[in-house]
Amino acid sequence: MGAAASETNIGVFDEVLRAALDRAESRLGQVKRADAKTKLGQFALLDEALREVATVRRSFNGELQLLRSQDKGPYGQALEGFDQRITALDQQAKVERATFDKAALFAEKRVRAADPAHPPSDNDRMLKETADVQAKTTASLQRIAQRATEARDMGKETAESLKDQQEQMLRIGVGVARVDDEILRANRIM
């Protein structure tokens, strides 16, 4: 097969891959808009579209390898662009799947918690006990912080009182010294 035939084939793969990516992106949009009941079916259709994209991408790359190096430029760039779209599409699909799984898990947990036929599991009891211990520890730490604040305030008041007493004792000392001086002067006069 000649270079012209390979270039024609890769042009077809370019169009087919572009269309497959458009379909997969459309399926992702349908997954995002789907309600919880139909979302699983939409995920199955998205997975099918992603498999088609992967198959066409491999064929595109194989055909690209058959081209002469001077003819690869624009198609190589196109493949890089497709790869970026594929990566973004895969990441968005993973986020949607994780969000759906998380929502389903929490919805199941709410249903199980409200259903008397499904008593709490050991994990649920352990999580509740852990939460209780954490709440008690938090309350205890708050009481300790309150007592520390009270002790600090009392320490400030005590320090101020001691300072006032020290000043008072200095004034008394000065007063006693004056009285001593007066007594000495009175004794000399007598």
CB-based contact 67:10 (threshold 8 Å): yes
Asked whether residue 1 carries a pLDDT value surpassing 80, the answer given is no
Average pLDDT for residues 39-62, to the nearest whole number? 89
HEC secondary structure over 134-145: HHHHHHHHHHHH
Task: Kindly list the domain boundaries of the chain, sorted by start residue.
Answer: 3-119
The string of pLDDT tens digits covering residues 140-184 is 999 999 999 999 999 999 999 999 999 999 999 899 989 998 999
- How many Cβ atoms are within 10 Å of 105's Cβ, its own excluded? 10
Q: Is 31 exposed, middle or buried (0-12, 13-18, 19+ CB in 10 A)?
A: buried
The candidate with the shortest Cα–Cα distance to 62, out of 86, 79, 40, is: 79
> Given the structure tokens 């004056």, which residue do they identify?
178
Question: CA-based angle 62:68:72, to the nearest 5?
Answer: 65
Check whether domain 3-119 has CATH 1.20.58.400, yes or no: yes
How many Å apart are CA 97 and CA 100, to the nearest integer?
5
The per-residue pLDDT for range 73-124, each reduced to its tens digit, is 888 888 888 899 999 999 998 998 888 888 877 765 554 555 555 566 777 7
d(CA 90, CA 96): 10
Band (pLDDT 50/70/90 cuts) for residue 67 is confident
Residue-level pLDDT at 49: 92
The residue assigned the tokens 């709490």 is 120
Q: Model-level pTM?
A: 0.52
Rg (C-alpha) for the chain, rounded Å, is 42
